[in-house]
Chain A
């Protein structure tokens, strides 16, 4: 088992919260893991990415080679496209469709969707909308994570376990809300696959 994942978004969106859930689940499975994060200057509203590598064999590089990435998880549609040179032929892009516009020359949205639609394997969803339907905008990242679960190579129950572990100190209600968000994301992805 080997999964190379790129998480992308804009500084402050919280891509590392998604990485934390996947990482905990991978550890529970007894897998090897390397996760290169972005700290420092780039966190201030700039583009951010994290390379997450999971395998049942020891992993050499912290960075994913070009053309070898299995899954791009993006909280922002333009940011996902930035890492396409890393995506493998059979790789999936799972992305939020709502743009985060903090630059004056942000591309037109239909042109952006046009580029995403050219990809053979993609899931596009409005995570904020789904999160609101589930109960809170604050679980948007978990909705997106849910939409990636068919491609993660980690059992869904392990992801659920990981969410319980991470959110238990915030109370049962928060745990349930996040589990609901996870399920909602998964359901959408399965329909779009």
Chain B
């Protein structure tokens, strides 16, 4: 079969479809979004009725995928690294229940925080939950790992975590496909109590999982994704994980002089690691993200073998790897011929011209800055986080999905007035609704702005779970309908918008203001496609 040019994300999606996928479950999040989008657009998805609708959040996604695995079918769950925190409850417990149909969880990490609020390394989740993990170094490996991973998951009866990073997710390269497999039929496991995690059952399941650890190490030792490549110079041995291997080889186009252990499957292969440590004077660990392998090799006290990496300063502790930083770690240097002229200025991203969030922030900041100098605005994750930048300088927080509402509640509980939350429609349904119920029950004196652009805009305009339902959700949760105010964020409505903001701040209780106007990006896309 000829090679196809695919993003890392697309290679994962294609592999899952080729392996007989029955459902993908995901909430959009950079850099994982394109996996689900690719599956949604693939013709076979429709032919085979592969489930592909976006989920409300990563937890509902993980749980639905576990349900599909329960009935013996193959399921894929995709999320960005911080989504793992949302899905963690189910994810960790899925290692205890085990999987029936093949279950692969994709965690797309974002070292250097290109589009994220932290650079947590999802491999710690794999270690924490005690399940095997894959980490591809290129698009073809990503394809192969997913294609073969479903079978491995079914063989060991556990979900598999596949960890990628931005540079793999969003880089395109040639990928060769394998034969298309059929979907699984409905089937159930032998143990009817397997998924019932009452303590008595969970203890048994946990012991089984612990007993399997040795098998998982053996699988890693025999894995084609873990390769020991010998080299003549034993002064240094290199452990290169995932795309760390690419940056190493970029610096040795003719082959590396040192022995290299290329890692693509975890838990770490003990046999090959021991071999490397026995034959080399010291070890350098190249891994993108946090020092996961380095920490394990070093141990807490760091005595014994000499391990170099991010923790001893050979490489920076933070930020993604690149060919230059890896060169320096190897005692080489890629020299620049030219420098950036000092007249070059930063060009941060900004809200689009004509975006409804702009009108929302313009009116909100005018009222708050001029009339309520003691105000604070708690915001959230989405395009509207850009309200932190000039000219708005409008927000005082952005922490995690849904935190705007609950942080504003805590601040109001503490006596702040006005305490204002700004959240988008998709983030609201992702993780804001439960917080709103807390506010209703406490009748918190605060104003919540749900800036509704009827899409999940920041990740490229995916469907938003609450479109057309936002007021009903608020009313259903118990917000007084008189204090649910809907406005159209347009210049001509500025006076009305400011009046409503003023009234609801003055109201001693809970208010929700919903400025609603479709995202101009999705609107213009619709017009183009007409």
Chain A residues with CB under 8 Å of chain B are 10-11, 23, 27, 32-47, 59-68, 78-79, 81-82, 84-89, 91, 102-108, 111-112, 115, 119
Contacts and interface: CB of A to CB of B under 8 A. Distances in A.
A88 B338 CA distance: 8
Interface stretch (B339-347, B440-448, B509-517): B339-347
B217 to A, nearest CB: 29
Given A42-B349, A45-B350, A66-B324, 4 more contacts: A23-B5, A37-B7, A38-B170, A103-B348
A156 B247 CA distance: 32
B410 interface: no
B335 to A, nearest CB: 5
Interface stretch (B47-55, B171-179, B293-301, B302-310): B171-179
A59 B253 CA distance: 9
A44 B351 CA distance: 7
Contact of B335 (A10, A33, A36, A67): A67
A103 B341 contact: no
Top 8 closest pairs, chain A to chain B, by CB: A40-B30, A46-B349, A40-B115, A61-B250, A60-B249, A65-B323, A84-B338, A44-B349
A77 to B, nearest CB: 10
A102 B348 CA distance: 10
A102 B352 CA distance: 11
B231 interface: no
B23 interface: no
A61 B349 CA distance: 27
A134 to B, nearest CB: 22
A13 to B, nearest CB: 12
Q: Which of B3, B339, B344 has the most chain A CB atoms closer than 10 A to its own CB?
A: B344
Nearest to B173: A34
Given A67-B335, A78-B344, A85-B339, A37 B351 contact: no
Contacts of A65: 250, 322-324, 327, 334
A59 B246 CA distance: 8
B345 A78 contact: yes
A39 B324 contact: no
Given A11-B349, A119-B338, A40 B459 contact: yes
Contacts of A104: 390
B349 A43 contact: yes
Q: Which of B248, B347, B351 has the most chain A CB atoms closer than 10 A to its own CB?
A: B347
A41 B324 contact: no
A7 B168 CA distance: 18
Contacts of B350: 44-46, 102
Given A44-B350, A61-B250, A33 B338 contact: no
Nearest to A12: B352
A56 to B, nearest CB: 13
7 contacts: A11-B349, A33-B173, A36-B167, A39-B460, A60-B250, A102-B347, A112-B343
Contacts of B351: 44
B334 A68 contact: yes
Given A44-B352, A102-B347, A86 B250 contact: no
B274 interface: no
Nearest to B113: A41
B249 A36 contact: no
B285 to A, nearest CB: 18
Given A37-B172, A40-B31, A45-B352, A86 B336 contact: yes
Contact of B171 (A36, A40, A81, A112): A36
Contact of B349 (A45, A79, A85, A105): A45
A85 B341 CA distance: 10
Contacts of B349: 11, 41-46
A66 B167 contact: no
Contacts of B324: 65-66
Given A61-B246, A62-B246, A65-B324, A37 B171 contact: yes
B232 to A, nearest CB: 20
A82 B340 contact: yes
Given A42-B114, A45-B350, A66-B334, A115 B341 contact: yes
A81 B247 contact: no
Contacts of A61: 246-247, 249-250, 322-323
B383 interface: yes
Interface in B229-265: 243, 246-250, 253
Contact of A85 (B340, B345, B458): B340
B404 to A, nearest CB: 18
